[in-house]
Structure 1
Amino acid sequence: MPDRDPAPRGPVWVILPTYNEAGNIEPMVEALGPKLKDRDRILVVDDDSPDGTGEIADRLAAADPAVEVLHRSEKRGIGPAYLAGFHRALEGGAGLIVQMDADFSHDPAYLPRLLAASEQADLVIGSRYVPGGGITEWGRTRRLLSLGGSLYARKLLGTSVRDLTGGFKCFRRNVLETIDLETVAASGYSFQVEMTYRVLEAGFEVIEVPITFRERQTGDSKMSAAIVAEAAWRVPAMRLGRRRSAG
């Protein structure tokens, strides 16, 4: 197992990927502010949102040096957005890198819980599927789809992590430095599975802490049939890649 420092050095960087989150980004940044310390940063990664999200983020950054905006020229998926954010956070000297949704599905109130747990693990996942975790405002069909997707990935990849598709995570710096980010292939929500799997395969310690996932109140969901289809074939591809490496 790779070495783990008892207390990572460097500030916390919170990465918020956005596409058409004009109604959420300002209140999210305001909610995160009290949870962070002086040297910590909020990085908004905007994929050229046509609703003005990027412009709102620029205004917030102009008023607060703790906020930074990374503009991308087109919508290319949540995976590439996070990877761009990871690279910028590492360049900025981050000690802990947090990824979370900008639409309040991930409650900023849980951020201190993830940061505290990072003292015991290399990757902390805010989990819907451990005792104490949960989901609100989802119908039965969507709950079954989400839980089934996590179970499918767990069984196929042979891991005990319960929320493989969860997107509220805190990485230690050395984890992202160790993983070859240039070879992470998933662009949709299977990116969450691939990143956690890569962390486990590298021998890092992963723990889950309970969170309650909330349905977004403003804006539209980014889930699509194409994203589901990508997850269906990428997970077996990850397993096949492991077998080839072992061979």
Structure 2
Amino acid sequence: MNDGGQRRYGPLGKALVIIPTYNEAENIEPIVARVRAAVPEAHVLVADDNSPDGTGKLADELAAQDDQVHVLHRKGKEGLGAAYLAGFRWGIEHDYGVLVEMDADGSHQPEELPRLLTALKGADLVLGSRWVPGGRIVNWPKYREYISRGGSTYSRLLLGVPIRDVTGGFRAFRRETLEGLGLDEVASAGYCFQVDLARRAVASGFHVVEVPITFVERERGDSKMSNDILVEALWRVTAWGVESRANKLLGRKP
């Protein structure tokens, strides 16, 4: 984690919780309700990738009933990173001061959002972490834990990023942080998108804080994890690591 030093942070501004969806019809209503109950002042943006199961239509119905719920309809399934980037741009255009990443399946518990937002008062980026003291996982098979822990450890060591849960996707950003990360240059679409943003934040000198969370395996619907996503993450992280070491040897800025 970066040292925030004596920096003074301004007020957070209004928060937008971005929830990307693809075939989450079973989960979208309960997760939005839980977010609205946990942080009533926050707004919700459902970024739906044209889900065949009608998730987008259900989100529209929620938005019609609650003016703090919004829907961003996308043309199709383009990956988690692309959905978040679209959500970030929408949030920045609509003048939100805090932008939050959160899964739709209940793995990220909305009841823990206040902890992330409180920590953001003294940070540029807050990560909900499974692998710091106090963090834990519930109902995950061991092979998933090994993959996640191994991926975070590999990324941390190869990239020199002092973050324990570098692959986690429960995050709260200040608007200014996102604006300083060069989002137009982010090309990663899958779960390595999270690694990409974390390494950019550290390289840019932003103060990154991890807070413990309890990660719960989804109860409804299907996981979007696949071998293709894991392969993309592995080769991209390796390429970034090689590039970073080459830059250091040649005295170039990252």
What residue is the counterpart of 2:99 in the other structure?
97
Give the letter aligned to residue 132 of structure 1. G
Indicate the residue corresponding to 2:123 in structure 1. 121
**1:246 to 2:248 alignment:** no
> For the residues of structure 1 that align with 2:71 and 2:116, how far apart are their CA atoms?
23
User: Where has structure 1 moved over 6 Å in runs of 4 or more?
Assistant: none
TM-superposed CA distance for 1:171, in Å, is 0.3
Residue 53 (structure 1) aligned to one of 49, 52, 55? 55
CA contact (8 A) 1:2 1:204 kept: no
Matched, 1:73 2:75: yes
Residue 37 of structure 1: how far off its partner (Å): 4.1
> In the alignment, which of 208, 222, 225 is matched to residue 224 of structure 2?
222
Of 166, 170, 173, 1:171 maps to: 173
- 3-state SS, counterpart of residue 69 of structure 1: strand
**Alignment RMSD:** 1.6
Residue pair 1:97, 1:170 contacting (<8 A) in 2 also: yes
1:1-247 map, 5 Å: 5-38=8-41, 40-242=42-244, 243-244=246-247, 245-246=252-253
3-state secondary structure, aligned to 2:235? helix
Q: Name the aligned partner's letter for residue 11 of structure 2.
A: P
Structure 2 portions without partners, runs of 5+: none
The answer (yes or no) to whether the contact 1:128–1:211 under 8 Å persists in 2 is yes
Q: What is the CA–CA distance in structure 2 between the aligned matches of 1:198 and 1:2, rounded to whole Å?
A: 19
Aligned CA distance change for structure 1 residues 33 and 225 (closer, same or farther; 3 Å)? same
**Number of aligned pairs?**
246
CA contact (8 A) 1:8 1:173 kept: no
TM-score by length of 2: 0.93
Structure 1, unaligned runs of 5 or more: none
Residue 246 of structure 1 aligns to a residue whose secondary structure is: coil
Q: Which amino acid aligns with 1:14?
A: V
CA 1:203–1:98: 2 relative to 1, 3 Å: same
Quick one: distance in 1 between partners of 2:92 and 2:5?
18
